[in-house]
Structure 1
């Protein structure tokens, strides 16, 4: 499972960040997809292409599959699990671009420039219930989308159809559906960064035990419901910083609040759901940062004209191999 949030720094620059929580190592690494790249599809022999280049974490599985990224227009997308509620089209539809759930993210990054264009863009694509060959299941997903203006939206495809919701909280986790999570925030209006004031109980004046009492009641477990509340609280009150380096460092600490160490969240099959990596997207400067669980170093890959105009996708070493890699300008 995963947690995502947006962040604006003191320079007015916007970021999207996510944890990738899963029960086995997906083996992804930073990849730049150039402009007009053609993707294979598990739905259509024709596949699909995109006008825009982008960078994110992915893997070449007889064709690249990415799970998050930012494109050259400053649009960032991350896919998150949506178990029990995702429901896709049963078959392809003529006159639309037909993609599998695990392919929609690549189509969005390659073809959509901003959040405002999402509703119209989604009207031209049909997400078909097709299995991912690597995982051998139809992957249940929903998507958080943000851009350099600060606009943020969530895409959910359910039995009620395709829904594109504005995300005023700037946060997303997993099931239940997004509107449920927003309504649940109404249960936490008592949360605040300041300590609570003294309270009278009869003639007794109760005093809080100092700083931090304003967060009493903040849920601390690893469910998607609790992580949503915790991420929303942290995003609301975390101090703003200036500059890319300071802002990425700040977001690192914000995501510490929802990081899942190995061993604390076991599944029914006794496998371990854990945060295997965290990614930070600079939507304003079109840069991508990847931090693995095994290493606190951060790999940075920025989009350049040379990389965007390449004829092939380009993979990059991760931090324990070589840190802070960028393509040549």
Structure 2
């Protein structure tokens, strides 16, 4: 039940921001994965990274591998997973002559093995997402993914059948189900547009919405969170460099899902574990956990990429 957006400010700096909303799990933490890191897919095949990765992830109890929910690599591309229930179609079994991955493996493949979004897109036809659990975890998760880079592009990959493809997302926003095209339809209808295309008229309508102080859609429903964030992003005057980070965290806070201690043992209690912002131009990962709200600032430095040889798990708080 996550919400995400990409953003370019007046200084032409590029950002990716998201809430990580998920039922109770092992703690999510900032994690570094080095170059030449050998990891095992959920199908027990070994792959090796060529790019260092920094992002938000977790290491489930009893599993030697790291599950990444978002991150950036040393070439300045980002990737994040969000839920797409009732819409995904995975292959029932591994396919010959394909790069067979479980859904949880996909971010490692994107960020660990590519230096540009063009190279990711070129390799998508070779990827087969298989309907199999990841290292014995209880569920096969229905994901779609959002990718961005230092050009400001926002690409969305939705595994809804057939070969994987990436579609350009002019709204710059992604949440959960429904598929992106339906989100566009819902947003443009809300804003009173005849067209379902996200364009300059959408931006004007979003600006008018905010100028007239109409209340933004609220609640946990993905459609409402998508419309809320899209109106914020499209309707707000472009932020300066100084405004960007605090404003993005403020926007994420508007759509966060509350934690209820009384429901902490319920498997379906979905809440915001952390909010993160990635500065793609400066390879900086900002991580704010629910538990302490302490902002961690971690930069993926050349020294880390060149000399750190093993994964590193940063404190959650």
Give the TM-score range, shorter chain.
0.7 to 0.9
Q: Which residue of 1 aligns with 2:169?
A: 167
Pairwise CA distance, 1:118: 3.0
Pairwise CA distance, 1:306: 2.5
Pairwise CA distance, 1:95: 2.7
Pairwise CA distance, 1:279: 0.9
Question: For residues 127 and 189 of structure 1, what CA distance do their matches in structure 2 show?
Answer: 36
Pairwise CA distance, 1:83: 0.7
Q: Per the alignment, do residues 126 and 295 of structure 1 end up closer, same or farther by CA in structure 2, a change over 3 Å counting?
A: same
Q: Are residue 49 (structure 1) and residue 48 (structure 2) matched? A: yes
CA RMSD across the alignment: 2.3
Pairwise CA distance, 1:88: 1.0
Q: Which residue of 1 aligns with 2:160?
A: 158
Q: Which residue of 1 aligns with 2:137?
A: 135
Where 1:162 maps in the other structure, the secondary structure is: coil
Q: Which residue of 2 aligns with 1:225?
A: 223
Question: For residues 130 and 272 of structure 1, what CA distance do their matches in structure 2 show?
Answer: 24
Pairwise CA distance, 1:18: 0.6
Superposed, 1:274-313 pairs within 5 Å as 274-309=271-306, 310-313=308-311
Asked whether the 8 Å contact 1:74–1:148 carries over to 2, the reply is yes
> Deviation per CA, 1:169-194, whole angstroms, max 9, x where unpaired?
11100011111111222212255444
> Deviation per CA, 1:209-258, whole angstroms, max 9, x where unpaired?
xx853535x42222001101111011113344443x64211110111221
* Alignment TM-score, normalising by the size of structure 1: 0.84
Q: Which residue of 1 aligns with 2:236?
A: 238
Count of residues in correspondence between the two structures: 299
Question: For residues 238 and 312 of structure 2, what CA distance do their matches in structure 1 show?
Answer: 34
Question: For residues 156 and 9 of structure 1, what CA distance do their matches in structure 2 show?
Answer: 27
Q: Which residue of 2 aligns with 1:259?
A: 256
* Alignment TM-score, normalising by the size of structure 2: 0.87
Question: For residues 25 and 288 of structure 1, what CA distance do their matches in structure 2 show?
Answer: 22
Q: Per the alignment, do residues 237 and 103 of structure 1 end up closer, same or farther by CA in structure 2, a change over 3 Å counting?
A: same
Q: Which residue of 2 aligns with 1:124?
A: 126
Asked whether the 8 Å contact 1:19–1:255 carries over to 2, the reply is yes
Question: For residues 273 and 17 of structure 1, what CA distance do their matches in structure 2 show?
Answer: 19
Superposed, 1:105-124 pairs within 5 Å as 105-124=107-126
Question: For residues 241 and 181 of structure 1, what CA distance do their matches in structure 2 show?
Answer: 25
Where 1:103 maps in the other structure, the secondary structure is: helix
> Deviation per CA, 1:87-141, whole angstroms, max 9, x where unpaired?
1112222332211100001110112223333321212222111102363111111
Asked whether the 8 Å contact 2:125–2:165 carries over to 1, the reply is no
Structure 1: 5+ residue runs without aligned partners? 196-210, 321-329
Asked whether the 8 Å contact 2:90–2:131 carries over to 1, the reply is yes
Pairwise CA distance, 1:162: 2.1
Q: Which residue of 1 aligns with 2:201?
A: none
Asked whether the 8 Å contact 2:35–2:50 carries over to 1, the reply is yes
Asked whether the 8 Å contact 2:173–2:226 carries over to 1, the reply is yes
Between structures 1 and 2, the one with greater helix share: 2
Question: For residues 227 and 206 of structure 2, what CA distance do their matches in structure 1 show?
Answer: 12
